[in-house]
Amino acid sequence: NVPPPVVELDGLTKRYGDLTALDAVTLDIRAGEIFALLGPNGAGKTTLIGCVSGLVIPTAGTARVLGRDTQREYRETRRVVGLVPQEINFDPFFTVEETLRFQAGYFGVKLSEARLAEILDALDLGRKRKAGTRELSGGMKRRLLIGKALVHDPKVLFLDEPTAGVDVELRRDLWKYVRRLRDQGTTVVLTTHYLEEAEALADRIGMIDRGKLLLVEEKAALMRRLGRRTLRLQLAE
Ligand code: ATP
């Protein structure tokens, strides 16, 4: 009873000159799961997200989202994929609502009042609707960044190191929102170099290093098999 894959990678490879940023990655991501791609800096996580979302052109192999080739059908891909970048990138002089409306305009979609309310509600930003984004706390800014990626109601949400450089308390708080989105039916793929983040959030974990996908496993099984200490050691190598 395995649900159909939302994301299918087949031999996905990206080279920059002599450097292989992604090395023949083959992977299925299932509907409704949180998949964590765990790996150190420079492992190829951002490149993988770029290839899947159509922003980076692979050297070889294919990436499909909902059965569509993300390179050949990048316009359709864009409509079903939500992308949360590492860096906060909204206008400090916009309000929360303006930020979301502007993003919807950018996507060419009409943001209904109902959808706007849904996003604000899911991210507990309703009370800040009319606040300027520069007045938001760090956690709220991170949540608004996620909200921006939701305006066109994507089927799969990619978060690129959503809590990099964020303190522990705030990180835990953000996890709550990521789970909430998954519980509401969005498939979530996140990259991280924090083991505890993968452990806290993921249904399945993929470990990537130097462009190679080293293993993919159910989180629970991986934790049982390796134990935290071993996993940490493997990552530190
Ligand atoms: P980080 O955690 O630092 O974001 P990452 O796992 O996301 O790391 P990538 O950003 O995908 O890793 O980078 C993988 C490798 O590809 C790195 O060695 C990086 O320097 C290299 N790389 C990425 N983009 C380019 C580019 N446009 N030109 C040349 N090399 C690149």
Give the residue whose CA is nearest to atom 25 of ligand 1: 16
The Å distance, Cα 119 to ligand 1 centre, comes to: 31
Give the residue whose CA is nearest to atom 1 of ligand 1: 41
User: Where residue 229 falls among pLDDT bands split at 50, 70, 90?
Assistant: low
Per-residue confidence (pLDDT) for residue 32, from 0 to 100: 93
Chain-centroid distance of CA 165 in Å reads 16
Is the confidence at residue 236, as pLDDT, over 90?
no
The closest-lying atom of ligand 1 relative to the alpha carbon of residue 164 is 2
Q: pTM here? A: 0.91
Cβ(12)–Cβ(54) under 8 Å?
A: no
The closest-lying atom of ligand 1 relative to the alpha carbon of residue 86 is 4
On the 0-12 / 13-18 / 19+ scale of CB atoms within 10 A, 71 is: middle
Give the residue whose CA is nearest to atom 9 of ligand 1: 44
Q: Which of 121, 118, 161 is nearest to 142 (CA)?
A: 161
**Amino acid letter for position 142:** R
21 lines ligand 1 (CB under 6 A): yes
Per-residue confidence (pLDDT) for residue 231, from 0 to 100: 57
50 lines ligand 1 (CB under 6 A): no
Is the confidence at residue 237, as pLDDT, over 60?
no
Q: Which of 67, 94, 75, 202 is nearest to 148 (CA)?
A: 94
- What mean pLDDT do residues 13-24 have? 97
* Model pLDDT for residues 44-70, shown as the tens digit of each residue: 999 999 999 988 999 999 999 999 999
Is the confidence at residue 160, as pLDDT, over 70?
yes
Assigned token pair, 192: 């991280």
* Model pLDDT for residues 85-142, shown as the tens digit of each residue: 999 999 999 999 999 999 999 999 999 999 999 999 999 999 999 999 999 999 999 9
- What mean pLDDT do residues 154-168 have? 91
Per-residue confidence (pLDDT) for residue 109, from 0 to 100: 92
ipTM for the predicted complex comes to 0.95
Give dist(CA 124, CA 107) in Å, integer: 23
* Model pLDDT for residues 168-205, shown as the tens digit of each residue: 888 999 999 999 999 999 999 999 998 889 999 999 99
Per-residue confidence (pLDDT) for residue 166, from 0 to 100: 84
The Å distance, Cα 42 to ligand 1 centre, comes to: 5
186 lines ligand 1 (CB under 6 A): no
